[in-house]
Amino acid sequence: MQTVFWTLPINEQFMNQITYKELKSVLNKILIKTGFDVNDAELCATIFSNSTADGYHSHGVNRFAEFIKSITDGYVQIDVSPEKLLSLGSFERWDGKLGPGPLNAHFSMNRAIALAKEYGMGCIAMQNSSHWMRGGAYGWQAAEAGCIGICFTNTEPNMPSWGAKTANTGNNPLIVAVPNDTGHIVLDMSLSQFSYGKMWQLTMEEKELPFPGGYNADGVLTTVPKDIVDTRRVLPTGYWKGSGLSIMLDLIVTLLSSGRSTAKIGEMEAEYGLSQVFICFDVDQLNHADRHKSLVDEIINHVTAAQPVDPGSQIEYPGSRTLKRRAKHMKEGIPINNEIWDHLLTMV
Amino acid sequence: MQTVFWTLPINEQFMNQITYKELKSVLNKILIKTGFDVNDAELCATIFSNSTADGYHSHGVNRFAEFIKSITDGYVQIDVSPEKLLSLGSFERWDGKLGPGPLNAHFSMNRAIALAKEYGMGCIAMQNSSHWMRGGAYGWQAAEAGCIGICFTNTEPNMPSWGAKTANTGNNPLIVAVPNDTGHIVLDMSLSQFSYGKMWQLTMEEKELPFPGGYNADGVLTTVPKDIVDTRRVLPTGYWKGSGLSIMLDLIVTLLSSGRSTAKIGEMEAEYGLSQVFICFDVDQLNHADRHKSLVDEIINHVTAAQPVDPGSQIEYPGSRTLKRRAKHMKEGIPINNEIWDHLLTMV
């Protein structure tokens, strides 16, 4: 049952308003009960709570029960530590030992930050990791540490490449983050035009997609989310372009980590053992702080100063909406679906 | 007149069939006449000829006269050499001194390859470069040298970000290349759904785009290329996703090179002084040759083994069509528009 909880819609009705502190405390208790040690539980609860506060419920609180199930089912291991397999100065390869995705990804980005502080840039490739939940979490982590951060992961085969009818590649999320003193700039995008979570949500709200998101059973592009969920023929971001980029990201994570490709992940009974890459650049070694600030301001001001399509509206940039949601939720509490919250309380 | 030659359609009518050798010889002579030294002329002629043989006429032979004009107009300098500004081990920043884009990009990728051979990975950021013509050229260059290559550039403001009506970001091409003994795998994509070159070409052929490519004067998404060329409201690849990635790539090239952003380039009277980044990983240090081959085969075989949308068709992957075009053109000659070829002959 809990494996589909993350697909529940964020609906203003039937919502509890939970404080960040309360959410994190409940998640922490469940993690401790599951067997996490105190430090790992604290970090993991923080990552899930931050993602939820930022509005990414589908990869935060709504997916938490499924995350715990991946541990109790034995796919994700909690008594392991990453092991270094290869070191080439600013590049390192690690074995994630099938540990929890959020902890492995946080570890990897921290290591990439450390290498960047030492060498100017750093790159970590990790094999045998698990689903990292919200990739953006590790972009914010890099930016908080004063690093430009880039990370990407492969997934199970969940998207047909351009010209294919069956899923032969993944939607391989790509995250890019840049530190900014008035709020970091963070892009967190998967390479399908819409996520399954979004399509489930709109299906239950009886709404259509704003643009075609995939093919229906007749092979016609459609905006009806249920028809796409049924065929599983989701459209890559930008048709052939997202398709090509998805294949390239799978090649890079697999070759750098010497780990599992999307093809290999698809042969397993669940989505685990993923390959991931984390790249950092230390901004302090690239530009003086004033120069960094003026270059970032120059770009963001140019973007936001354009004429908006909707008169009076504000032009957004990557991360700007997240910052607003985070501020609102930290002040007013986080809306969380009743059913999900009640279920979590039974797990404490 | 020659500044719009690159927009001419590749039409099987009115075509000369020129051998690679003949093309390169003519371009070489024009470059020498323009003042290039022997080595630079040879390299530059090779890059333009290779791009044309690969079928990228719009960034090859069709743009050559415009490239020469950027030199005679004084925007691009030919008596300069790149200068190193910053060295952090596997990362270096260089000043391109407004030299020819193809030579600067080739130099930068060569330097990234050398750093990768020394350190496992290498990254070059270059400020003050010029238009590199076909970005894919430097992806093939990295792959030929046994490196995974990633490079991207900013451009003048030529695309509205998501929600904007006026061009406030660039279509910032992104190239990713992976070495493969049966033909390298190379993605070369800009972040607008269609290029201006493609839209001009289809306009002249009185054809429509296969998918909406931008907005018409009424603010409605359209497949009529002329209407989009008129408004200049091209659609980012994947709507908000390509828009976000475009802003992030501009931030990275600008911060790493400490060079001009798209905003600054837009303040100048022509598109020059661009910022570019080149990243390489040496595959020999990542995996044994057999392991590299088996991982690449595993991924490409999985992609191409999927059920095709059109029964009997072959599923393509990044670079697979280029390889076929190259083989055909090297064997049968390269179709080149009469008007363009005749004009080049007057420049020798």
Extract long-range pairs of A210-213: CB within 8 Å, 24+ residues apart: A211/B239
CB atoms within 10 A of CB A210: 11
Test mutation, A155, A215, A255, chain B, max B CBs within 10 A: A255
Q: How far apart are CA B215 and CA B238, in angstroms?
A: 14
Q: What is the pLDDT of residue A307?
A: 95
The Cα B158–Cα B194 span in angstroms is 12
Side chain identity at A219, as an amino acid letter? G
Residue B103: name the closest of B154, B52, B48, B60 by CA. Answer: B48
Q: Cβ contacts (< 8 Å) between B250 and chain A: which residues?
A: 299
Give the closest residue to A14 by CA, choosing from A340, A344, A338: A338
The token pair at A24 is 């994190």
* Cα A24 from Cα A17, distance rounded (Å): 14
Inter-chain residue contact A258 with B286, CB threshold 8 Å: yes
Residue A186's nearest CA partner among A113, A248, A221, A135 is: A135
Beta strands in B196-333 (DSSP E): 214-215, 221-222, 274-282
Give me the residue label for tokens 């380039």: B265
Q: How far apart are CA B100 and CA A150, in angstroms?
A: 29
Torsion of CA B297, B302, B308, B311, to 10 degrees: 70
Q: What is the spatial distance between Cα A88 and Cα A93, in angstroms, rounded to a whole number?
A: 9
End-to-end CA distance of chain A: 17
The answer to whether A183 faces chain B, any CB pair under 8 Å, is: no
Domains in chain B, CATH or no CATH each: 2-73+333-347 (1.10.1530.10), 89-188+241-284 (3.30.1370.60), 193-235 (3.30.60.50), 289-319 (no CATH)
Query: How many CB pairs (< 8 A) connect A and B?
Result: 252
- Mean of all residue pLDDT scores within chain A: 94
Which residue among A150, A165, A298 sits closest to B263, beta carbon to beta carbon? Answer: A298
Scanning B55-135, the segments in alpha helix (DSSP H) are: 64-72, 101-119
What pLDDT is attached to residue B188? 97
Q: Among B153, B145, B135, which Cα is nearest to B178's?
A: B145
What are A185's strand-pairing partners?
Answer: A178
Min CA distance, B40 vs chain A (Å)? Answer: 31
CA-atom Rg of chain B in angstroms: 20
Summarize pLDDT for A84-127 with one digit per residue, the tens: 999 998 999 999 999 999 999 999 999 999 999 999 999 999 99
Our answer to whether residue B288 is catalytic in this structure is no
Report the alpha-carbon distance of residue A192 to residue A336 in Å, rounded: 26
Residue pair B90/B121 in contact by the 8 Å Cβ criterion? yes
The answer to whether the Cβ–Cβ distance between B263 and A166 falls below 8 Å is no
In A254-283, which positions are buried (b, 16+ CB within 10 angstroms) versus exposed (e)?
Answer: bbbbbbbbbbbbbeeeebbbbbbbbbbbbb
Using a CB-CB cut-off of 8 Å, the residues of chain A touching B119 are 88-91
**How near does any CA of chain A get to the CA of B38, in Å?**
36
| For testing contact with chain A, the best of B126, B255, B284 (most A CBs within 10 A) | B255
Mean pLDDT of A161-188: 97
Report DSSP state, residue A63: G
Task: Note whether A340 and B206 are within 8 A (CB).
Answer: no
A130-138 mean pLDDT: 97
Most confident of A32-36, A192-196, B336-340: A32-36
B211 burial (CB, 10 Å; 0-12 / 13-18 / 19+) is middle
What is the end-to-end Cα distance of chain B in Å, rounded?
A: 17
Q: Is A316 on the interface with B (CB under 8 A)?
A: yes
Residues of B with Cβ-Cβ distance to A251 under 8 angstroms? 148, 178, 185, 295-296, 299
Kindly give the confidence (pLDDT) of every residue in chain B, 348 residues in length, as a single tens digit, with 9 standing for 90 and above.
233 444 555 554 568 899 999 999 999 999 999 999 999 999 999 999 999 999 999 899 999 999 999 999 999 999 999 999 999 989 999 999 999 999 999 999 999 999 999 999 999 999 999 999 999 999 999 999 999 999 999 999 999 999 999 999 999 999 999 999 999 999 999 999 998 888 988 898 899 999 999 999 999 999 999 999 999 999 999 999 999 999 999 999 999 999 999 999 999 988 999 999 999 999 999 999 999 999 999 999 999 999 999 999 999 999 999 999 999 999 999 999 999 999 999 999
Identify the pLDDT of residue B290: 98
Q: Model confidence at A16, in pLDDT bands (50, 70, 90)?
A: confident
Strand partners, A17: A335
How far apart are the CA of B276 and the nearest CA of chain A, in angstroms?
15
Task: List CB contacts of B319: < 8 A, sequence separation 6 or more.
Answer: B177, B183, B184, B185, B186, B187
The closest alpha carbon to A252, from B174, B47, B109, belongs to B174
Average pLDDT over residues A251-271: 96
Cβ contact B302–A164 (<8 Å): no
pLDDT at A9: 52
Q: How far is A74 from chain B (nearest CA, A)?
A: 27
- Please tell me whether residue B128 adopts helix, strand or coil conformation: strand
B247 touches A at CB < 8 Å: yes
Task: Indicate the pairing of strand B121-129 with strand B91-95.
Answer: parallel
Task: Match 């493609």 to its residue by tokens.
Answer: B198
Percentage with pLDDT > 90 across chain A: 91
In whole angstroms, how far apart are CA A181 and each of A141, A289, A290, A315, B200?
14, 10, 11, 19, 42
CB atoms within 10 A of CB A46: 17
Q: What is the DSSP letter of A97?
A: T
Checking if the pLDDT of A222 tops 60, the result is: yes
Task: Give the active site residue among A59, A184, A292, A329.
Answer: A59
Determine which one of B59, B131, B184, B292 is catalytic: B59
Say which amino acid occupies B229: V
Whether residue B278 contacts residue B96, with contact meaning beta carbons closer than 8 Å, is answered with no
pLDDT score for B11: 54
Q: Which residues 19-38 of B are in CB contact (within 8 Å) with A?
A: none
- pLDDT at position A5 over 70: no
User: What is the rounded distance in angstroms from the CA atom of residue B209 to the CA atom of residue A323?
Assistant: 37
Q: Select from A244, A194, A254, A247 the least CA-distant residue to A221.
A: A194
ipTM (interface predicted TM): 0.96
